[in-house]
Amino acid sequence: MKKKKILLIDDDQDFLLATKLILEKGGYEVFMAENGKTGVEMWKSVKPDLAIIDMMMETWGEGFSVLNKIRATDTGKTTPLFMLSAVDLQGPYNAFEPPPDFPKVNKVLHKPIKADDLLKCIAQELGEQKA
């Protein structure tokens, strides 16, 4: 059985490496990008089954920019995309009402996330049964 491909886009090298180990142990093939530009390029070449995009990288909105660019591609229209953030979205961000044309994100995950929770979210989104 072919491994599902996961793309991680985050400017935190430690997070990338730790998450890569978790996902590989979970049976996924993992690709990493350390910034948005590389992430979008890698998206086009790798064609992952799911991507996890950090909300804030070099700039506050870089993750949203990456999300927009990926959703604009043919494969990006339907592939699951998770947004990841260490920002407390219960604070001033909970009132954020995205415009109707704002690109859809399948799930928002909060750093730090437990390994089991991350694997469970991914398996559910990809329709897999994971122990």
What is the mean pLDDT of the segment spanning 27-45? Answer: 95
Beta bridge partners of 81: 51
Poorest-confidence range of 47-56, 78-87, 92-101, 107-116?
A: 92-101
Looking at per-residue pLDDT, the higher value among 69 and 97 belongs to 69
Looking at per-residue pLDDT, the higher value among 57 and 71 belongs to 71
Domain ranges of the chain: 1-6+47-59+69-87
Q: What is the CA radius of gyration of the chain?
A: 14
What's the confidence (pLDDT) of residue 93? 47
What's the confidence (pLDDT) of residue 108? 84
Residue 92's pLDDT band, with cuts at 50, 70 and 90, is very low
What's the confidence (pLDDT) of residue 101? 67
Look up residue 94 and give its amino acid: N
Contact of 28 with 6, CB cutoff 8 Å: yes
What is the mean pLDDT of the segment spanning 21-44? Answer: 96
What is the mean pLDDT of the segment spanning 13-36? Answer: 95
Contact of 53 with 31, CB cutoff 8 Å: no
> pTM of the predicted model, to two decimals?
0.86
